[in-house]
Amino acid sequence: MDRRSFIKRTGVASLGIGLNFHKTFSKTKNDITLPIVIATWDVKKATQKAWEILLKNGDSLDAIEQGCRIEEANEKGQSVGIGGLPDREGNVSLDACIMDYKGNCGSVVYLKNIKHAISVARLVMEKTPHVMLAGDGAKKFAVSMGFKEENLLTEKSEADWVKWKKKEKYNPIINIENHDTIGMLAIDKNNNISGGCTTSGLAYKMQGRVGDSPIIGSGLYIDNEIGGAVATGLGEEVIKTVGSFLVVELMRQGYSPEEACKTAIHRIVNKPGSNYQNFQVGYIAINKNGDTGSYAIQKGFSMTKYDMNGNENISSLFFDKKI
């Protein structure tokens, strides 16, 4: 069983970074080196993009937006952006949210025909007096901001949907193997934390269904004094436990990121009558010191982390009744 959570940090001296260190990295009080970015699932291209921005002294919010856009533009990813699997009626609809270190947030729900939902969410945060825009209003706003409308249903996703329709059996998919909803958390060199989350939601959901990903506190939460958390998996279960807010509040009480994620997962599996065997939920978290952790219900979840030690996909710990 894979019980590894995160890499031990290597001393700066042993890396031989030497005199240029201060130009390239900065340190938190606990001697952790910044910047750092983590994301749900195996999304090394996305963390690479975010890292490049962070390393150039970029802002954590820019790193998050640009990192998430990589997966939104990847047609092969069937749970985010273009190529996302549709609802039961064949519509691809996207949910996304973003939150910065000043406590600002923006989100879009049930956004159709615009692939970069994360960027629309950011503009909701920056250019409107609101936090959330939904459906036609979200699309109208996006178009007014210059986003291009396009068909998000790729041939492959359409063919999968047509195949699914023959049986119309609805079961949440436990782990989508290539990758899944992307949730990302970053700390820049100024020790500021931002986060984002973007998804096409559950495959073959009911038309109009909205998951946890655009709901601040459920799919994502950031408190720049404490840390951040982001969720993936069956959104209904995350919403019912206000998962990401819970993880951050547990870190406020002194839990490590890993312990906080684990406790939030236990909150789901220990509910009376929980049928947790049939679904997946995973959390990743980071605290103000740059410590990271993850935890999931089922085996198969992972986190990608890019810090000064490199870009690595790390298997997550998961719930095990025997422990």
Which residue ranges make up the site for ligand SD4 (CB under 6 A)?
A: 79, 180-181, 199, 201-202, 211-213, 232-235
Whether residue 199 lies in the annotated active site: no
Cβ at position 268, least distance to ligand SD4 in Å: 13
Cβ at position 237, least distance to ligand SD4 in Å: 9
Cβ at position 186, least distance to ligand SD4 in Å: 19
Six-digit token string for 185: 């958390």
C-beta closer to ligand SD4: residue 79 or 304:
79
Q: Is 96 exposed, middle or buried (0-12, 13-18, 19+ CB in 10 A)?
A: buried
Catalytic residue among 181, 199, 241, 292: 181
- DSSP-derived secondary structure for 21-47: HHHH-EE-TTS-EE-EEEEESS-HHHH
Which residues, listed in sequence order, are joined to residue 107 by a DSSP beta bridge? 97, 132
| Type of residue numbered 177 | E
How would you classify the pairing of strands 105-111 and 26-27? Answer: unpaired
C-beta closer to ligand SD4: residue 101 or 279:
279
Cβ at position 292, least distance to ligand SD4 in Å: 19
Which residues, listed in sequence order, are joined to residue 26 by a DSSP beta bridge? 34
- Cα–Cα distance for residue pair 122/100, rounded to 1 Å: 9
C-beta closer to ligand SD4: residue 17 or 176:
176
C-beta closer to ligand SD4: residue 240 or 252:
240
Active-site residues: which are they?
Answer: 181
